[in-house]
Amino acid sequence: MGHVVASRRQWHALIDLEGLLDRYDGLNIVPSSNDMLVIVGDLAFNATGPDGKTIADSYAIRLEVLPSFPDSIPSVWEMSKRISRDYHKLNQNRLCLGAPTRLRMEIVKSASLLNFVDQFVVPYLYGHSHFEQTEQMPFGELAHGAKGIRDYLCDLFQAKSSELPEEFLRLSSLHKRVANKRPYPCDSKRRLGRCHNRVVNRLRLKFGRKWFAEEYTKTKTLLESQSESKSSWT
């Protein structure tokens, strides 16, 4: 038992749980029937968006963090039903915090739960409050479903358009010399080595081939389960 407790304490330190609860003192840990970390309460924030508008607001949330974090994305719910179901929600009414690849990339950079809330949960809530007040989205909108995933990947790899931008993930999982000889995802008549190889090489160096191989598998599986009209990102 002592080893289990010590491991859990180490995990809490790794993900900066104390920092999260200190910053947002309206949040509290609640008992869970399994090893999941469950945090509920009022998340109060004071934030300024890209248009200079400052908003102070508070939302009742539920945050569920699997023991596999940072290898998995936490799930977040807004509990007071203030945010409607048709406002950027996933299946099971979870908040849609962004493209899965973007979320996982940022989590890889920092395993801090505090950073996750600061970078994704607070901007989402700020965006909703901003929309309530102005009927405008301060950060723009990403399409739901497969289109949103592919639009993000096009932006990530600086491709103007591509029917299968997930192929960039696969190419990033290959050795540089091999990838550069493969067809460019936006134009099968060109090789990657003659177009966009720099951005692929930069990201490969940053995250590693293994990470991209796993991300390609996750994204491919997710795209196969998607429809253009409904988002169920996991």
Tell me the per-residue pLDDT of 133-190, one tens digit each, with 9 for 90 and over: 998 888 877 677 888 899 999 999 988 777 889 999 999 999 999 998 888 787 767 7
152 closest CA partner among 100, 87, 96, 216: 100
Mean pLDDT along residues 201-223? 93
- The pLDDT assigned to 220 comes to 92
Report how far residue 192's alpha carbon sits from residue 197's, in angstroms, rounded to the nearest whole number: 6
pLDDT at residue 21 is higher than 60: yes
pLDDT at residue 4 is higher than 50: no
Delimit the domains of the chain by residue range: 2-134, 145-224
Mean pLDDT along residues 25-34? 92
Report how far residue 165's alpha carbon sits from residue 148's, in angstroms, rounded to the nearest whole number: 11
Give tens-digit pLDDT for 112-138: 999 999 999 999 999 999 999 998 888
- The pLDDT assigned to 227 comes to 53
Give tens-digit pLDDT for 60-85: 999 999 999 988 999 999 999 999 98
Residues shown for the chain: 234
Do the Cβ atoms of 73 and 59 come closer than 8 Å?
no
| CATH of range 2-134; options 3.10.110, 3.30.1330, 3.40.50, 1.10.760 | 3.10.110
Report how far residue 108's alpha carbon sits from residue 137's, in angstroms, rounded to the nearest whole number: 27
27 closest CA partner among 39, 45, 12: 39
CA angle 36, 215, 147 (to 5 degrees): 100
- The pLDDT assigned to 161 comes to 76
- The pLDDT assigned to 33 comes to 79
pTM of the model: 0.85
- The pLDDT assigned to 188 comes to 66
DSSP 23-61: H-TTEEEE--SSS-EEEEEEEEEEEE-TTS-EEEEEEEE
pLDDT at residue 203 is higher than 50: yes
As a whole number, the mean pLDDT across the chain is 88
Percent of the chain with pLDDT over 70: 91
pLDDT band at residue 231 using 50, 70 and 90 as cut-offs: very low
